[in-house]
Each structure stands twice: as structure tokens, then as C-alpha cells.
Amino acid sequence: MGPAGGAIPAPRAGPGNVFVMESDTLFSLGEPAGAQRAPADAGGVADFATVEADSPLPVRMRPASLDELVGQGHLLAPGAPLRQLVGGGAPMSVILWGPPGTGKTTIAHLVAQATDRTFVAMSALNAGVKDVRAVIETARRQRRSGGAQTVLFIDEVHRFSKTQQDSLLAAVEDRTVTLLAATTENPYFSVISPLLSRCVLLTLQPLDDDAVRGLLRRAVADRRGLGGALTLAAEAEEHLVRLAGGDVRKALTALEAAAASAEALGAGVIDLATAEQAVDVAAVRYDRDGDAHYDVTSAFIKSMRGSDVDAALHWLARMLVAGEDARFIARRLVIFASEDVGMADPTALSVATAAAHAVEYVGLPEVQLNLAQAVIHLATAPKSNSATTAIGAAIADVRAGRGGPVPRGLRDAHYAGARGLGHGTGYRYPHDDQRGVVTQQYAPDDLVGADYYRPSGHGAERSVAARLPVLRRIVRGLPAPPARPEPVAPLARPEPAAPGSGRRSPDAENASSAEDGGTDAAREAQQ
């Protein structure tokens, strides 16, 4: 049924039958040449419009064949599911999972133009169960009459509710339709398990810099693109590659904007300044695989360690603008929280872990707020590397061969016969003591008394530093340290008497007292 409730007419059988669900999305999916338009009342979504001369550059530059697809070599082996799907082989349903601009929609176009099956496209942005059922019913009637197999392409399938996804199950199961679904979200979380189990999952990887660079050069030279009317300077090309971050649609859109700016200026070359002005993003000197990547990351970590929050935020911004993987940044924050903050602020690890979760749950660009909050917390927190040095010392001892067998009292005593072996004998349960800690050997014999953890006096670790000696003394059965005598305050030194005052000076009085004391002592000795 269409949006107005009208039935969707059965499509005509034959090669290249493409039916389009009218779209209000922000990008055009394009339509292969010679494809048929859907009836006007065939409600739905994604617009497979015919490619025109003024279509956006990413649409004009879509590969015309599977061999032109770049960056997904792991899916293009002979006999691979993707080749079978595009070539019209075994009618298997497929879910395409990958970040934006990696070729999911391009693959849908290739399927539409390379097979003799009827192709219907819709987007989960605004399609409903009624639209899906109408397509399935039409496909079922066509199949019963001996017509062509129907391929149903659903873009953004993760936006379908559970009920909407359920409506696909029977048709996918009996191959009334061959489902081709695209998603940028992890399908293990966003697609119901029954539907996922009925499909082949193909994971598309972000394009590397070389692949994006090659596609930019193709667009500059190809008649479908700029047709060689302009040249792209090397620095501008590198800027567009960095800006894309593996998203070829983003790179081509930026190239088109830069080309329009160069033509308006009457220039024959797209230089760096033109590219920057066109996309309103300054070029960032940052190579995710080169020295700049490691240098900026090092400066980022060292700024947080040095408690310079402003410098740390600058390096964070540098990485974000350059297109650094937010997951990489989050991992560094989680490591830093234990490596450099540690017990001085135990909440730092929770903050960093929450930021890492936000990267997966929220995504860019909004997650930059969560990352900034975590960086501010870590940079301004008190610092301690005691956890780092403690585990390092413990690992060094283990690698050096220190550490005997597990003490008998600590061994597992839950299985039959363990007691007969003496396992658990002599074990003292700490909770039976009112202090919650008892004297007991926990370390192997040759490591008794080894101190790995040495707390600092910073932040929250100050209280741990005060408590730890008491815990070690009780556990190891050591005597309590002798009580320290109360310190005696020094006597105030009297001011000397003014000359000519007639009063004896304090020094003279002290000397006289010393002499008197010495005389008295001598007198007592004589007696």
C-alpha cells in the first residue's frame, strides 16, 4: 500500500526493473541508466533518481561496475557473496555494514543495474510496515505468475523498529524477496537476531588514504567528474584526503565545492587556500599513519600528565579536526586514567571508561563533548603512577622466576578430595575478625614481605598511604611500631639586655646559672 492507501501495481518483469520509493532524504541514491521509475503512488523513500549532468559529484562518480569499486577487496574475491549478489547468482539476502561513504549505496546501484531482477529501494527513515508489506505482496504475486525475483534494498535498516524488522522475516525466509540492507550501526545491536541469521553479513571497511586519493584523482580527470578542466594541487589533495577520514562521499563533496570556488575565481588550479575556504576547515598538519600522529598523541598524553588542561584540549581538538578515530582517543584516555592518575583519583577511570562508551553510543560530532570532559577531568586530577610501577615490579619478579607454589591454606578446597590433600588447611576468614583483616600468608614463600605498591601522598591516595602500613603490619604479623614521644617545644630565647641598663644580660645570666650548676654538682660530689 502507498502512503495514501493505494495498492502498488505489480512491476513489469524483465531486466532492470527499478522501483523507487519517493525520498525526502538529504542525498540522492541515483538510478542506473535505462531503469524504470516507480509508479507515482508507490509510496516509500530512497530516491534512485536518474543521474543528470548537474547531479552531485558523488552521484556522478559512482562506479559503473563492481571492478571499479575501491577499498573493499576482501569482499571482491571470485565467488564471494557480493559478486554473486551483483552478478545475479544465488539469491542470498545480505546486510551491508560500514561507516558512511564506504560504498553501501554504490553496491545497491550495482545490484540494480547488473541483474534481471526487479529492484525496489526504500529507506527506513520514513518507510513503515505498510510499505514493506505492500512490496512483499507485490513480489509474491509476481513470483507466482512466473515473474522476476525481487530485490528489496532498505537503507538505514537499523532505524526500523523490531516490529518493522519482524515484517521482513517470512519473505526473506522463503525468498519472496532478496533483502539488501545497509546500516552504519553495529547490526548485532541494531538488527534483530532472527533477521540477522537469515542474511549474510558483509562488513565494509573505511577507505584508506590511498583509496580516497585515487578516487579524487579519478573525479578530477573523468568526464563524469571535472573532466580535466581543473587540476588539484598536491597540498589541496592531501587536505581533502585528511578531511574525508575514509568517507569518499565527503571527499568528493568537498572537491566539488572547491572546484566551484576555483571556477568562480577564474583559476585553473584548486590550491590549498581554495580548498580550505570552500569547506571552511583549515588544513591540519596531521598524518594518522606518520610521525605527526605519534607526535601529536605524545604531546596530548604529556600535556595531561603535566596538568596543562589547555594544551591537552588543543591536542584533542587537533586530532578531532584531522579526523583521528575517536575510539583511539578514548582508548588513550582509559589507559591514562590508570597509568598517570590511578589511585590519586579513582573516579578518573570511571570517567574515561564512560567517555569510551559514549564514543560507541553517541558518535561524532557530539561525542567530542564527552571526550573534552574526560580530558579536563584527567588533566586537572591529582597524579600518581603507583599502579603502573606496582604492576611493573610484580611482572618483573614473575619473569625473573620468583614466586613459589600457592600457600596450602589458599588453595581451592571445594572439590572432592581437596581436604585430604590439605587444601585450605589453616585458612583464616578475614570477615570473622572485627577488623576485617587477619594475620595470614598470602604471598608465595620467596615473596613474603615484597612491597610492590608504594602509594603517593597525592589526592585520594593520601588516605591509602596512611592505611597501608597498618594493613601490612597486621597481615604479616609484625609488631606495632614504638610510640613516638611527644615533641618538646624549644624554650624561647630571651632578648639581650640593652647596654647600660644596669640589668644583667641573658647570656650572663645563663653563664652564671651554668656556673652555679657546676659548683653545686661539684659540692655534691665532695659530700
Judged against a pLDDT cut of 80, whether residue 459 lies above it is answered with: yes
Angstrom distance (rounded) from CA 150 to CA 116: 9
Judged against a pLDDT cut of 70, whether residue 289 lies above it is answered with: no
Judged against a pLDDT cut of 70, whether residue 514 lies above it is answered with: no
415-418, Cβ contacts within 8 angstroms, sequence gap of 24 or more: none
What is the pLDDT confidence band of residue 40, given thresholds at 50, 70 and 90? very low
Same domain, 441 and 414: yes
Rg of the Cα trace of the chain?
Answer: 38
Closest Cα to residue 214, out of 232, 196, 193? 232
Same domain, 300 and 368: yes
86 versus 510: the higher-pLDDT residue is: 86
Same domain, 156 and 70: yes
Total domains in the fold of the chain: 4
Tell me whether residue 354 is in a domain: yes
What is the structure's pLDDT at 61?
87
pLDDT in tens, 417-430: 777 787 877 888 88
Same domain, 66 and 190: yes
Same domain, 347 and 420: no
Query: What does the pLDDT average to over 399-405?
Result: 86
Judged against a pLDDT cut of 50, whether residue 237 lies above it is answered with: yes
Query: What does the pLDDT average to over 507-526?
Result: 40
Tell me whether residue 16 is in a domain: no
Judged against a pLDDT cut of 80, whether residue 229 lies above it is answered with: yes
Find the CATH number of the domain harbouring 373: 1.20.272.10
Judged against a pLDDT cut of 70, whether residue 502 lies above it is answered with: no
pLDDT in tens, 363-373: 888 899 999 99
Find the CATH number of the domain harbouring 429: 1.10.3710.10
Tell me whether residue 353 is in a domain: yes
Domain that holds residue 354: 291-383
From 179, 203, 227, the end of a domain falls on 203
What is the pLDDT confidence band of residue 355, given thresholds at 50, 70 and 90? very high
Same domain, 87 and 196: yes
Same domain, 190 and 76: yes
Same domain, 118 and 242: no
Tell me how far CA of residue 142 lies from CA of 10, 138, 172, 258, 271, in angstroms.
7, 6, 15, 47, 55
Percent of the chain surpassing pLDDT 90:
23
Same domain, 231 and 102: no
Tell me whether residue 501 is in a domain: no
pLDDT in tens, 78-106: 777 777 777 766 678 889 988 887 888 88
Find the angle CA(516)-CA(521)-CA(526) to the nearest 5 degrees.
125
The overall average pLDDT reported for the chain is 78
From 287, 307, 323, the end of a domain falls on 287
From 203, 238, 262, the end of a domain falls on 203
Tell me whether residue 515 is in a domain: no
Q: φ and ψ at 178, to 5 degrees?
A: -100, 115
**Are 126 and 45 a contacting pair, CB within 8 Å?**
yes
Q: Which of 106-115, 293-302, 342-351, 398-407 has the lowest mean pLDDT?
A: 106-115
pLDDT in tens, 318-340: 889 888 889 999 999 999 999 99
Query: What does the pLDDT average to over 117-138?
Result: 86
Instruction: Please name the residue that has the C-alpha cell 598511604.
Output: 465
Same domain, 179 and 82: yes
Most confidently predicted of 37-46, 58-67, 120-129, 454-463:
454-463
Q: Is 151 helix (H, G, I), strand (E, B) or coil?
A: strand
Tell me whether residue 506 is in a domain: no
Strands (E), 90-133: 94-97, 118-123
Same domain, 167 and 226: no
Tell me whether residue 490 is in a domain: no
Tell me how far CA of residue 279 lies from CA of 15, 258, 274, 309, in angstroms.
41, 7, 9, 29
Same domain, 89 and 199: yes
The CA-to-CA distance between both ends of the chain, in Å, stands at: 129
430 versus 11: the higher-pLDDT residue is: 430
Q: Could you count the other beta carbons within 10 Å of the beta carbon of residue 516?
A: 10
What is the structure's pLDDT at 409?
82
